[in-house]
Amino acid sequence: MDLKEYLKNPDKEKLFENTFSEIKKIQEKYKPFITISEEHARKYLEEEKGDKDFLLPISVKDNICTKGIKTTAGSKILENYIPPFDATAIKKIKEVGYIIGKTKMDEFGFGTFCLNCAYGIPKNPYDVGRSCGGSSGGAACLTSALKLPHIAIAESTGGSISCPASFCGVVGLTPTYGLVSRYGLVDYASSLDKIGVIAKTCFEVAHGLTKIAGYDSKDSTSINRKSEDYTKYLKKDISKFRIGVPKEYFDNIDEEVKKEVWRAIKKLEGEGAKYEEISLPSTKFALPSYYIIAMSEASTNLARYCGIRYGMTKEIKGSYNEFFSEVRGEYFGEEVKRRILMGTFYRKAGYRDKYYLKALKVRGHIIKEFKNEFKKFDCILAPTMPIIAPKFTDIALLSPAQQYAMDILTVAPNLCGFPHLSVPCGKSNGMPVGLHLIGDHLQEGKILQLGSWV
C-alpha cells in the first residue's frame, strides 16, 4: 500500500500496529535503526494527536534532533544525548506523523557507504552482502524494505540522500539550500547541509517536502519563502521540457548504469521532453573543492564536542587540552579524526589561500557554469552514482580517497545548493540504478514533475 491509497481510507491504528510489527522484522534482517521509538510514538498518537484521523509513520536520520528521543549522529560521543527540543523540520512533520525511530548514518555524515556508523552497518534489502549507501543508509534501507506508507527525513551534505536512494531503489529529494530549516540539525558542514526526504514514490517525497519546507527565523540561512503543495507538479505534461545531459557525467561510469540511465532519458523523450548533450568542464574540480570545504567546516563544527557541554565526558585530569584529547580520542571514530586533521590543515595560516579560499573560488565557478546551462534547460540529467551498490568485501579494498571519489556525480549539485532528485530507473545485476535530476534553485517542482514520469 502506498500513501496515495492510504490517504483515501486512513486507518491510523491499523497502520501503527502493522508498521511496528514490520519494522521489528526489518530491523532483525537489515538493521536500519539506531533507535526504535515505539512507546514514544504510541504516546504521541494517543495523547497528543488523538483527535487526528490521519497520521503517518516517520523515520528520522539520527543527526536531526527529536525531543525526548536519543540523537547520536551515528557517533559514540553523543551516545547519551536526548534533545530537549525538536528540529524545526521535525516539529513540522509531526503535524502529519509520529516518529517511529532514528535511522543509521555514517558518523556525523562522513561517508558514502554507511560503514562509518558507531552503531553497526545497515544491509541492503536487495542483497545483504551490499552497502545501502551513505550517509543516510538507514533511511534508504528502511524505506526500501517497508512496504507501508512511510516518509524518511534525511539529510545531505554532498550526496547523502541521493546515493543511498540510488543504491536501495527508492526516491530521494535534496532541496535547495535554505528551503528547509537546518535548526536542530547536528552540523556537518554548515554551508552545505540540507534536510530532505526519502520515500518510495515521488508522491510521498513531494508530500513530505510540502510539510517541512518554508522560512524559519531560527536558521539564519533560511530562504524567506512559504512552502507550497509540491504534489501538484506530479505527472504534469513535460512536452515543453528541455533537458541537458552533461557528457562529463558519463565518463568512467559502469556500462550497465549508463545503459539504464540512457533508457530513462529516451523514455522521457518519448513523453515529449527534448534533450541535448552539454558540457560542464569544471566537473573534475568539484570533488577536491567539495572535500576541502566540507572537511574545513566539519573540523570547526566538531570543536564543540569537548566533553563539557554535552555528549560523553570523562573525569577531568591534567590540563584542559589533555582532557579534550582524552574525550575526543576515545569517542570519535577513525574517519572523524581523519577529517578533523585534514580540515584543520586546509584552514591553517599559510595554507588557507592555497586550499580553502581556492576551493571557495572553484565553487563559485561551478555555480556559474550550471547557472549558464539553466538559462537553456529546465533540468540536468545524469546517473546518480557511477556504480550499483557495492559489496562490503569490495569496499574494504578501497582507500579513503577512492571512497571519496565515488561522490564525483553528487558533489556538484550539493556545492551549488541546487535541488536534486534521485529516482530508480532500472536494474543492473538485480540491483537498482538511480537517475539524477538536477534543477535550478527553488525548482523542486520541475524535478518532481519530470521524476514522476520515470
Could you give the CA distance from residue 18 to residue 27 in angstroms, rounded to a whole number? 14
416 binds ligand GLN (CB under 6 A): no
Grid cell digits, residue 384: 546518480
Residue 346 in the binding site for ligand GLN (CB under 6 A): no
Residues between 104 and 123 with contacts to ligand GLN, criterion CB under 6 A:
109-112
Q: Smallest distance, Å, CB 140 to ligand GLN?
A: 13
Q: Looking at beta carbons only, is 233 or 305 nearer to ligand GLN?
A: 305
User: Residue 131 or 181: which CB sits closer to ligand GLN?
Assistant: 131
Closer residue to ligand GLN, CB minimum distance, 157 or 201:
157
294 touching ligand GLN, by CB under 6 A: yes
Residues 394-413 that bind ligand GLN (CB under 6 A): 407
Q: Tell me if 196 contacts ligand GLN by CB under 6 A.
A: no
Longest dimension (CA), the chain: 70
User: Shortest distance, CB of residue 158 to ligand GLN, whole angstroms?
Assistant: 3
Residue 206 or 295: the one with the smaller Cβ distance to ligand GLN is: 295
Q: Give the angle subtended at the CA of 20 by the CAs of 15 and 24, to the nearest 5°.
A: 150
For the annotated catalytic residues, the residue numbers are 61, 135, 160
> Which pairing describes strands 56-61 and 171-174: parallel, antiparallel, or unpaired?
unpaired
**Residue 159 lies near ligand GLN (rule: CB under 6 A):** yes
C-alpha cell at position 51: 483527535
In the complex with ligand GLN, the residue whose CB is nearer, 59 or 156, is: 156
In whole angstroms, the minimum distance from the beta carbon of 333 to ligand GLN comes to 13
| Of 89-97, 158-166, 323-331, 356-364: span binding ligand GLN (CB under 6 A) | 158-166
Tallying the residues shown for the chain, one arrives at 454
434 is a contact residue toward ligand GLN (CB under 6 A): no
Half-sphere exposure at residue 263, Cβ-oriented, CA atoms within 13 angstroms: 13
CB of 8 to ligand GLN, least distance (A): 36
Residue 299 makes contact with ligand GLN by CB under 6 A: no
Q: What are the residues facing 424 on neighbouring strands?
A: 434
Give the 3-state secondary structure of residue 406. coil
Positive or negative, the CA dihedral 389, 394, 399, 400 is positive
Question: Exposed, middle or buried by CB within 10 Å (0-12, 13-18, 19+), for 326?
Answer: middle
Measured distance CA(306)–CA(241) in Å, rounded? 51
Please enumerate in sequence order all residues whose Cβ is within 8 A of that of 209, keeping only pairs 6 or more positions apart, or say none: 173, 175, 180, 196, 197, 227, 230, 444
- Cβ closest to ligand GLN, residue 112 vs residue 289: 112
Tell me the β-bridge partners of 127. 124
Task: Point out which residues bind ligand GLN (CB under 6 A).
Answer: 109-112, 135, 156-160, 188, 294, 407
